[in-house]
Amino acid sequence: MKLFRLAPLALAALLVLTGCPDKKTTTEVETPDKLPVAPVFNPDSAYAFVAKQVAFGPRVPNTAPHVKTGDWLISKFQSYGLTVREQPFQAMAFDGKMLKARNIVAQYQPQAARRIAIFAHWDTRPFADKDEKNKNAPLDGASDGASGVGVALEMARILAAQPDSLTPAVGIDFILFDAEDYGYDSSTQSELTNQLAGLESSGGSSWCLGSQYWAKNMMPAAYKPEYGILLDMVGAKNGKFSREDLSRQRARDVVDKVWNIAAQIGYSDYFLFQDSPGITDDHVFTNQAGVRTIDIIDHLPVGDDYFPAYHHTTDDNMSVIDKRTLKAVGQTVLQTIYGE
Ligand SMILES: [Zn+2]
């Protein structure tokens, strides 16, 4: 299509002369670029990884299921030949508890110069404070936590299984944060004191303790991937991923790339071309650390109910998980990696 450069006045005159121009006759219909071959993401396998985490029990820091799940995640990545490191840390939660936590870093093709980060959080919220009845009960975190990790694990499994001829041009770092979901929610916990309120006034948060620690102690050191993709709540039936504000501000090109690929491979029911407000999630701190990161997170672009109904309730269990959503996200991110 040729672009006609007209001065605004001339353009106005033209519009007056021709009336309302028919846009269709002047808009070129773009044929999508042919996408590179990417491996097939297996949603059954991703689902099994989500179920396995949930079966350990809620992954709340300072509990046995949390430790066991962390050990299992490390052994799974190692079994696929990835280079795995742990980043142990202690952090005080908003209620004054000292949390024993660890971030997990698993590198695929660690020698590759060009890198992409896949982030997720592997802990679960200790209380279902948005639940109608069981506000102090822990939750399974099937979507909020386990789904992002399940997609990451399945990607690692698939990448490791590829022949040399189908190796992507980039290395991938799977970085799983701990203690993301132990934050203070003023809408449900106003009777409690947020002992980290001071941290919040200086750009920190009672949420995302693992990514805040990582941002100050980067692993790998001086880490400079081309960009990062955060997967959070990517497993629920009818998941809706709209274009979150901070993602657009910091990595608009990555948002466009991922959403366009999703549309091209048939997942525009999940990846909505709609904008939504910003959210406090691990990408706030990875962006602060200089890694341009987008957040793929299940939330609606309109209305007061920003989060899906299962969010931070005991309903966030395996019954909300849908393999089709896992497939939409996993295949889209894999296809994105194979386009690099
Ligand atoms: Zn959460």
Ligand 1 centroid to residue 265 C-alpha, Å: 29
- For residue 66, is it within any domain? yes
Please report which helix (H) or strand (E) contains residue 102, including its range: strand 98-108
CATH of the domain at 210: 3.40.630.10
In angstroms, rounded to a whole number, what is the distance separating the alpha carbons of residues 129 and 40? 38
- For residue 4, is it within any domain? no
Ligand 1 centroid to residue 125 C-alpha, Å: 6
pLDDT, averaged per 10 consecutive residues of the chain (340 residues), comes to 37 41 45 82 98 98 98 98 98 97 98 98 97 93 98 98 95 98 94 90 92 98 97 97 96 98 97 94 97 95 80 97 98 98
- For residue 2, is it within any domain? no
Ligand 1 centroid to residue 33 C-alpha, Å: 37
What's residue 201's pLDDT? 81
**Count of domains observed in the chain:** 1
CA 264 to chain centroid: 20
Ligand 1 centroid to residue 128 C-alpha, Å: 10
Ligand 1 centroid to residue 50 C-alpha, Å: 15
Overall pTM > 0.85: yes
Ligand 1 centroid to residue 249 C-alpha, Å: 22
Is the CA virtual torsion 244, 249, 251, 252 positive or negative? positive
- For residue 116, is it within any domain? yes
Task: At 179, list the tokens.
Answer: 């203690």
What's residue 32's pLDDT? 58
What's residue 304's pLDDT? 64
What's residue 198's pLDDT? 87
What's residue 303's pLDDT? 66
What's residue 199's pLDDT? 86
- For residue 64, is it within any domain? yes
- For residue 270, is it within any domain? yes
What's residue 168's pLDDT? 97
Ligand 1 centroid to residue 40 C-alpha, Å: 29
Per the structure, the complete domain to which residue 68 belongs is given by: 9-338
Contact partners, residue 239, CB within 8 Å, separation at least 6: 143, 233, 270, 298, 308, 322, 325, 328, 329
- For residue 277, is it within any domain? yes
